[in-house]
Amino acid sequence: SSGPLKVAVTGAAGQIGYSLLFRIASGAIAGDRPVELRLLEIEPALKALEGVVMELDDCAFPNLAGIEIGSDPEKIFDGANLALLVGARPRGPGMERGDLLSANGAIFTAQGQALNKVAADDVRIGVTGNPANTNALIAASNAPDIPKERFSALTRLDHNRAISQLAAKTGAKVTDIKKMTIWGNHSATQYPDIFHAEIAGRNAAEVVGDQAWIADTFIPTVAKRGAAIIDARGASSAASAASATCDAARDWLNGTPEGDWVSMAVVSDGSYGVQEGLVSSFPVTTRDGNWEIVQGLEIDEFSRGKIDASVAELADEKNAVTELGLI
Ligand code: NAX
């Protein structure tokens, strides 16, 4: 379509925002199509955001068609074709899971309602802010006029981490690795599954040939990578999260390549025994801005147990936010 792609980003003055905005402005999602950035922050962070906007200006990006900033979601989401919900309330000292869910619930109910009111008819919404799956569920539940299929939560960083670990183990190029899958929640219970993945056309698990490595090294390394980065860097992953957020949005809008798929957390239709209505990560193909869950994969007992454990955690989170009246 014509005109710039209007991309709303929340939490724009945060760490991920500081990497993400420059990637979007330089074409990581829309290629040569101009983009307009619409940046949401809370009031106290607007001054810092003004500084980020100065830097965006100073890049003189050829395809950056405009920038709006503000703290009112109804203004910032107005006409958005793509909304990347990055801003969230981090877990503070002494904060229980219930406190975290309700703090984020307040953010994602309001943002869901605002998107429902003012976003473009073709809006796609990607949630990066944690707990991402449940935040996406809350936003979708508060946007009754937007089809639930338009919401997804980010598991692409986990997917990319899994590809990178597998490439390092096997000496393959990342581009030779196809059909990686992350199942379940973007949390330590996630299940990175290489039993359907391929390395240069060969089954990845067979190439690895070492079930103990898969179970005891690969899966925990991918699932706990976020914590390892915090340990090393003293701050949570930001540039890689921004990169994955771009990858996910670009592939959603432009389609997945033939012979490959990506991982996205999307509303379950009951596929693979995942409780209908949960926002859970699946292998998906995309086309023309729509996704489809890859069907017909054989799930063995090992994988079944891992998927079920992560889905059970999602069901718990859903029960908790239902009790809090957020959905
Ligand atoms: P930061 O704390 O650096 O930035 C978050 C920003 O959001 C802050 O500037 C804050 O003012 C803003 N914010 C808070 N409430 C807001 C609201 N109601 N409206 C608009 N903006 C609001 O966090 P950062 O490192 O950028 O991470 C952002 C989120 O991504 C966190 O929830 C984090 O846990 C999550 N992550 C998700 C990942 C994923 O793969 N799904 C990986 C990276 C990251 O951990």
**Same domain, yes or no: 148 and 168:** no
Distance from chain centroid for Cα 159 = 10
Domain boundary (153, 188, 211) is at: 153
Q: Say yes or no: CB of residue 72 within 6 Å of ligand 1.
A: no
Residue of 126, 134, 94, 79 whose CA lies nearest to 277: 134
pLDDT of amino acid 1: 58
CA 191–ligand 1 middle distance (angstroms): 23
pLDDT of residue 95: 83
Sign of the torsion formed by the C-alpha atoms of 189, 103, 18 and 149: positive
Best residue among 113, 130, 138, 158 to mutate for probing ligand 1, ranked by most atoms within 8 Å of CB: 130
Residues 179, 224, single domain; the answer is yes
Tell me the CATH number at 146. Answer: 3.40.50.720
What whole-number distance in Å separates Cα of residue 46 and Cα of residue 61? Answer: 22
Residues 95 and 236 both lie in one domain:
no
Contacts of residues 235-242 at CB distance under 8 Å and 24 or more positions apart, as own/partner, are 235/15, 236/15, 237/157, 238/15, 238/16, 238/18, 238/19, 239/19, 240/157, 240/160, 240/161, 241/16, 241/19, 241/128, 241/154, 241/157, 242/16, 242/17, 242/19, 242/20, 242/23
DSSP one-letter code for 43? G
Identify the segments of the chain with pLDDT beneath 70. 1
| Residue 111 marked ligand-binding | yes
- The pLDDT score that the predictor gives to residue 41 is 98
User: Which is it for the CA torsion 153, 155, 157, 160, positive or negative?
Assistant: negative
Q: Give the β-pairing of 82-85 and 124-127.
A: parallel
Q: Determine whether the shortest distance from the Cβ of 128 to ligand 1 is under 6 A.
A: yes
Q: Are residues 306 and 167 in the same domain?
A: yes
- pLDDT tens digits for 128-137? 999 999 999 9
C-alpha triplet 181, 284, 300: angle, nearest 5°: 45
Q: Where are the alpha helices (DSSP H) in 119-201?
A: 132-141, 156-170
The reply to whether 322 sits in an annotated binding site is no
> What pLDDT was estimated at residue 92?
80
pLDDT in tens, 219-274: 999 999 999 999 999 999 999 999 999 999 999 999 999 999 999 999 999 999 99
Centre of ligand 1 from the C-alpha of residue 14, in Å: 6
Question: Final residue of a domain: which of 153, 176, 195?
Answer: 153
Residue 224 lies inside a defined structural domain of this protein: yes
Residue 97 pLDDT = 78
Q: Identify the domain containing residue 283 by its residue range.
A: 156-317
Residues 164, 95 share a domain: no
State whether 137 and 161 are in the same domain: no
Q: Do 202 and 99 belong together in one domain?
A: no
Q: Look at ligand 1, atom 34, and give the residue with the nearest C-alpha.
A: 130
Show the tokens assigned to 221.
Answer: 């390394």
**Cα distances (Å, whole numbers) of residue 258 to 193, 261, 286, 287:** 20, 8, 10, 10
Q: Has residue 322 been placed in a domain? A: no
The answer to whether the CB of 130 is under 6 A from ligand 1 is: yes
Give yes or no for residue 132 CB within 6 A of ligand 1: yes
Whether residue 326 is contained in a domain is answered as no
User: What whole-number distance in Å separates Cα of residue 276 and Cα of residue 58?
Assistant: 47
139 plus 97 within the same structural domain: yes
Encoded amino acid at 157, one letter: L
Domain count, the chain: 2
Are residue 147 and residue 190 in the same domain, yes or no?
no
Domain final position from 109, 138, 153: 153
Q: Is 325 domain-assigned?
A: no
Contact of 38 with 80, CB cutoff 8 Å:
yes
Same domain as 93, residue 193? no
In a domain, residue 187? The reply is yes
Say yes or no: 169 and 74 in one domain.
no
Ligand 1, atom nearest to 157 Cα: 40
Residue 161 assigned ligand-binding role: yes
Query: 115 with 234, same domain?
Result: no
242 domain residue, yes or no: yes
Which positions ≥6 away from 99 have C-beta within 8 Å? none
Residue 327 in any domain: the answer is no
The pLDDT value recorded for residue 98 is 82
Q: Which residues are catalytic?
A: 186
Ligand 1 pocket, residue 15 CB under 6 Å: yes
Instruction: Decide: 87 in ligand 1 pocket, CB within 6 A.
Output: yes
311 lies in some domain: yes
